[in-house]
Every structure is written in C-alpha cells, then in structure tokens.
Structure 1
Amino acid sequence: MRRFVRHPTDIPIAVTVTAASSGCSMTSVSQGGLSCEVATQVAVGSMVNVAIPSVSPPYYGNAEVMWCRQCGEHFEIGLQFTDQEEAFKARMVQQVCQIEHYKNMVFEREGRWMDGDEAAAEWIQKYAADFSQH
C-alpha cells in the first residue's frame, strides 16, 4: 500500500518561492506534506507558498522544501507543511481534488454528469477508507 496519495494531475497547483511563481504538477500528498514537479531547482530549506486556486474555497498555505532532486528536465521537490493545521487543511483540499477528479473521470468514461455533492457521496462510499489510511 502507498504511503502517499497521488494527486490528480488535472487539478493545478502553484508553488511560490520568494518572488518567483511557478505552476507545478503535484505528484503526491501525505499527512505532513506533498511532492510536486517544478521547472527549476529549489534550495532545501526554502519556504514556499502553496496555492490550489481551482478548489472552492481556494487553498493557500506555507511549506518548507525538504528535498529537491532532478527528474529529467524538471525537478521534484518534497514539501513539509509548517504546522499540523496546514497539513490538515491541505489534506482536506486534497480530498476535494480527488472528488473533482473522480467527477471528471466518471463523466469522461461513462458520460454521467454529477454535481459536487453527488460526486462527493459516491467518492466517499468508494474511496474514503483507502484515502484516510495514507
């Protein structure tokens, strides 16, 4: 079983390091942090702002870069949230992202449209137990 939950790639996030802002692709999220792919190297120990504006309400939080490694032409960074409250909020946002991804996937595969509440109820019934174990 995975220690981290894969983030749906169709839900964009942004990571801001000092004055430079960069879109990134989140790859996974855990209890205390997340990892994502960025275009440029980021120094370990840097504080970053994390934004997921496509969820309602939008998520904005802070994290510290714990590791950075080159992966082909991009870099993957590991971020640790600054406190437990940030980690909890990010976890809840990740669940919203998973539900939105599920809603899109069902429409794409089955042609079945669901509103947010219907998608949430169905996703929770099918996947919430697995999600909470990560």
Structure 2
Amino acid sequence: MRKYLRHPIDIPIEYDLEFELDNIVSDRREYLYNLSEGGLSFRANRYITPGSIIIIKIPLVNPAFQVRSEVVWCSKNNGVCFDIGVKFLDENTEFRVRMIEQVCYIEHYKKEIFEREGRKLSGEQAALEWINKFANKFPS
C-alpha cells in the first residue's frame, strides 16, 4: 500500500542536479506527471543515477516551490526518455502539503474550464490563469 496518495498532473518543473564539489547542471525544464506528499516523478531526456541529489523547482505555484530531493529510481520510457522518481528531503511537510493542494486546485480548474468552456489548457496555461484569478484567495 502507498504511504502517500499520488496526484497525476502535467505542470512544468525545473531541476538542478548537484554533483561533487557543488558543480550544478542548471535549469532543465521537464514536466511533472505524478506528485504526492513524499515526492514526485517526472520525465527527463537523460538518465539520472538513483541516489543523486537534485533541486526541484515548480515556478508556477505561488509562492514558488523549491525542494531538495533524492532520486530514488530512474527507468527508461519507450526508449526515448526516462521516468525519474524522487523523494523530498525537506522536512517542511506543511509547505509541501500546501503546494500539493495548490497544484490539485490548478488541475481541477483545468478540467472545469474544459467542461464549462471547451478550452483545453496545458498545465502551464491553467496554472497561470488560476494564479491570476485565485492565488490571492488561497489561505496562507
């Protein structure tokens, strides 16, 4: 049984990969596709060794989410890209839960707009619209 509930989404993320001596591979833009309180998974164009430490950034949520994470698995997907699973190393559970709630609201908004208006929004478009309309009402 899973410890945390997964939320499927397609919000753009960025990551920085830490190497020895703090050399950083910076700002790789990918798409998040599963999110839970304990971690997330995303697709990348390169293999990332399990045990690697990466900094995950989700710039579209308000406030911008950034968390230090550890790669726990990496598997090839259709021979084209890699699915990467990470666990959060940050102990700030309250912030993580709030970020997850916000992302779920954005996904709900995306589906609601499609049903109500027939507009098919990307995760990024939905996030930008939702933030402009509702982020100031989201409890802090």
TM score, norm. by length of structure 2? 0.70
* 4+ residue segments displaced more than 3 Å: 1-4, 112-115
Aligned to 1:36: 42
Contact (CA 8 Å) 2:58, 2:66: kept in 1 or not?
yes
Cα distance in 1 for partners of 2:95, 2:61 equals 12
Once the 2 structures are TM-superposed, how far is the Cα of residue 88 of structure 1 from its aligned partner?
4.1
Once the 2 structures are TM-superposed, how far is the Cα of residue 6 of structure 1 from its aligned partner?
2.8
SS at match of 1:19: strand
Mapping of residues 73-92 of structure 1, within 5 Å = 73-85=80-92, 87-92=93-98
SS at match of 1:64: strand
Structure 1 residues 63, 77: CA separation in 2 closer, same or farther (over 3 Å shift)? same
Which one-letter code corresponds to 2:13 in the other structure? I
2:101 paired residue among 95, 112, 117: 95
Equivalent residues, number: 118
* Structural RMSD (CA): 2.8
Q: Which runs of 5+ in 1 are unaligned?
A: 121-134
Cα distance in 2 for partners of 1:89, 1:47 equals 20
Mapping of residues 104-123 of structure 1, within 5 Å = 104-111=110-117, 115-116=133-134
Once the 2 structures are TM-superposed, how far is the Cα of residue 69 of structure 1 from its aligned partner?
0.8
Aligned to 1:25: 31
Question: Is the aligned partner of 1:8 residue 2:26?
Answer: no
TM score, norm. by length of structure 1? 0.73
